[in-house]
Amino acid sequence: MNTWITELTPLSFLRRSATVYADKVAVVHGEMSWTYEELAEKVERRARMLRASGVRPGDRVAYLMPNVPEMLAAHFAVPLAGAVLVAINTRLAPDEVRYILDHSGATVLVVDSEYADIVSPIVDSLESVRTIAVTVDPVGPSQGAVVPGAIAFDTFLAGADRDEEELVWAVADERSPISINYTSGTTGRPKGVVYTHRGAYLNSFGEIFHSAHNANSVYLWTLPMFHCNGWCTIWALVAAGGTQVCLREVRGDKVWELIDRHRVTHLNGAPTVVTTILNAPEAHTLDESLVVTVAGAPPSPTTLSEAETMGFTIVHVYGLTETYGPYTACVWQDGWRNLCAEERARMQSRQGVAMIQADPVRVVEAELIDGQLVDVPADGTTMGEIVMRGNNVMREYYRDSEATDAALAGGWFHSGDLGVMHPDGYIELLDRAKDVIVSGGENISTVEVEHAVASHPDVLEVAVIGVPDAKWGERPKAFVVARHGRNLDAADVLKHVRSRIARYKTPREVEVVPELPKTSTGKVQKFELRENEWADETSRIRG
């Protein structure tokens, strides 16, 4: 290897910014703040803490905490110690957390005191964790809960004084793991997605470019840091020299308070997060544009249009845990300015093209032809599976070679998402393969139906699934949440939808519900809706 070539790693971002932006505010949380110089010092101390506790290169270190400075610092401290970060979803049940800790082989767990009740029941059954440290966030809720056998984080941190070895802000192999992110596991046990230093480094630049970050960026943490390492935004903001505003819990009132207080310029989240912000009582038109990068589900043209009116600049991206978060972006075209608001929003709701750091995205036929993947016609109507490859596709599923081989068959990552390729080279997501409704032999995209329902002025949120139908096999059903103060009439919604899409695609029924089941990242959990609707059918078949 050429000795003058440096291995890529996000660690280099903080090493640089600690010098270039030494006195600039890097992190804000409540009334406290850290400069870049202070952030680097705290990261070094935590890296020494981990090494003094016995963490060795390649060891896995788990964190269970919300969007607080300790979680942010861990994204640099853990790899600086030579270890691999395992950021755990804070909404998981104790047994799910236990599985991730055991499967990853984590030797250290750092947990926010708010989640002590998740860890306490599993302490005695953990296979590899030898040290548990509990942090108490001064901005968080007062917690008196104690994890058996755990130590206070301050005590754990004091161990840093025992480490005198030199810290190196570099890696010997850029393809070595920097983190393992576990999938949601809705169809079985979660899989550990391995990110590399190289992939995280490159994806960070994609975030900087497509979300227009710079040293003046003030980013509000509405996206969980544990989700795809916050789409690599933690590393990206440090590279850009921006300021990161931490937020323990996403509430409309708190989000608007921080937007106004800190003059926030950027935030990320799922469309449901955007809906929460736009419909909060505190919502108001912005004096300056706020860039909102949206992913997790295709935002409806209605949501995009409302956000634009409020003063939000929407950057629509698409990706999966296996692609470090965002992989494509709906890159703006100047010609769209001349379109009517509804048509412009429809163009922006597409998933777009590969980001600058990624290989071109493809939409391919379901079956291999002569052992090769074959692209569907770029006609905007022929449906196929979205596949990706390159630097921003995971290295592997941790300790699961069989699943890795299946996901990367043919040298491309198979997303399981169905979409079309438009003549202009932009892809459009139509559905997850498991969500497509087959009614009387016709495929119905739930996304298309959801967009039609969401365009009704009284609808705040919607989820569409297939439900049993004696004649057609299955038919669409819509679950809707009414806008605050609106009296939502199901019959009126159906009449509205029939005016926008083909009749066979129209939901058989509309059910008004107080809320939709969601993941911690704001994605609607359709499997819960399906389980309830198909329970009687399943019982009938088994009976």
Residues 416-426: tens digit of each pLDDT: 888 999 999 99
Token pair of 472 as six digits: 């057609």
Beta strands 32-35 and 25-29, pairing class: antiparallel
CATH topology of domain 250-432: Rossmann fold (3.40.50)
Q: Does 296 have pLDDT greater than 80?
A: no
Q: Does 185 have pLDDT greater than 60?
A: no
Q: Which of 110, 326, 360, 317 is nearest to 229 (CA)?
A: 326
**72-108: pLDDT as tens digits:** 999 999 999 999 999 999 988 898 899 999 999 999 9
CA distance 444 to 240: 43
CA distance 118 to 221: 23
Residue with tokens 């010997």: 172
19 dihedral zone (left: phi>0; alpha: psi -120 to 50; beta): alpha
More confident residue, 174 or 145: 174
Q: Which of 151, 154, 102, 153 is nearest to 124 (CA)?
A: 102
Under DSSP, the state recorded for 347 is H
Domains 15-199 and 250-432 share a fold: yes
Q: Which of 169, 166, 160 is nearest to 53 (CA)?
A: 160
Local confidence band at 207 (pLDDT 50, 70, 90 cut-offs) = very high
**Amino acid code (one letter) for 501:** I
Please state which of the ranges 26-30, 238-242, 389-393, 497-501 shows the lowest mean pLDDT: 497-501
What pLDDT score was predicted for residue 99?
Answer: 94
Mean pLDDT along residues 459-484:
87
CA distance 325 to 230: 8
Local confidence band at 542 (pLDDT 50, 70, 90 cut-offs) = very low
Q: Which of 341, 333, 293 is nearest to 314 (CA)?
A: 293
pTM: 0.85
| Bridge partners, residue 151, by sequence | 133
Local confidence band at 58 (pLDDT 50, 70, 90 cut-offs) = very high
Under DSSP, the state recorded for 483 is P
Residue with tokens 């994890």: 147
Residue with tokens 């990320």: 268
Residues 6+ apart with CB under 8 A from 461: 272, 275, 454, 480, 481, 516, 524
410 dihedral zone (left: phi>0; alpha: psi -120 to 50; beta): left
Phi (first) and psi of residue 159, to 5 degrees: -65, -15
Please state which of the ranges 341-355, 451-465, 519-533 shows the lowest mean pLDDT: 519-533
Could you say which of 3.30.300.30, 1.20.1090.10, 2.60.40.1120, 3.30.465.10 is the CATH number of the domain covering 437-542? 3.30.300.30
Mean pLDDT along residues 196-214:
98
Q: Does 513 have pLDDT greater than 60?
A: yes
**Domain-by-domain residue ranges, the chain?**
15-199, 250-432, 437-542
Q: Does 142 have pLDDT greater than 70?
A: no
Burial of 332 (0-12, 13-18, 19+ CB in 10 A): middle
CA distance 393 to 423: 25
Residues 6+ apart with CB under 8 A from 168: none
CA distance 126 to 138: 29
CA distance 300 to 482: 16
| Mean pLDDT, all residues of the chain | 90
| Bridge partners, residue 313, by sequence | 291
Local confidence band at 441 (pLDDT 50, 70, 90 cut-offs) = low
More confident residue, 485 or 77: 77
CA distance 245 to 258: 8
The count of other CB atoms within 10 Å of the CB of residue 401 is 9
Token pair of 389 as six digits: 């490859």
Could you say which of 3.30.420.40, 3.40.50.720, 3.40.50.980, 3.90.226.10 is the CATH number of the domain covering 15-199? 3.40.50.980
Token pair of 360 as six digits: 């071109």
- 260 neighbors 311 (Cβ within 8 angstroms): no
- Using N-to-C axis directions, what is the helix angle for 446-454 and 301-310, rounded to 10°? 40
Taking CA atoms, 532 is separated from 273, 518, 541, in Å, by 25, 15, 15
Residue with tokens 């087959």: 438
- 221 neighbors 262 (Cβ within 8 angstroms): no
What pLDDT score was predicted for residue 540?
Answer: 38
Reduced to 3 states, what is the DSSP secondary structure of residue 428?
strand
Mean pLDDT along residues 490-494:
91
Share of the chain above pLDDT 90, in %: 68
Q: Does 153 have pLDDT greater than 70?
A: yes
Q: Which of 92, 85, 125, 93 is nearest to 109 (CA)?
A: 85
* 134 CB-side CA count, 13 A: 19
Residues 6+ apart with CB under 8 A from 195: 177, 178, 179, 180, 181, 229, 324, 394, 395
Local confidence band at 143 (pLDDT 50, 70, 90 cut-offs) = low
Residue with tokens 């106004």: 260
Q: Does 391 have pLDDT greater than 90?
A: yes
Taking CA atoms, 529 is separated from 339, 479, 534, in Å, by 37, 9, 9
| Bridge partners, residue 269, by sequence | 294
What pLDDT score was predicted for residue 523?
Answer: 75
Please state which of the ranges 208-212, 272-276, 452-456 shows the lowest mean pLDDT: 272-276
The count of other CB atoms within 10 Å of the CB of residue 308 is 16
Mean pLDDT along residues 143-168:
89
What pLDDT score was predicted for residue 127?
Answer: 96
Mean pLDDT along residues 482-498:
89
What pLDDT score was predicted for residue 303?
Answer: 77
Q: Which of 85, 75, 83 is nearest to 54 (CA)?
A: 83
Q: Which of 64, 61, 52 is nearest to 105 (CA)?
A: 61
CA distance 383 to 399: 33
Share of the chain above pLDDT 70, in %: 94
Q: Does 38 have pLDDT greater than 50?
A: yes
What pLDDT score was predicted for residue 91?
Answer: 85
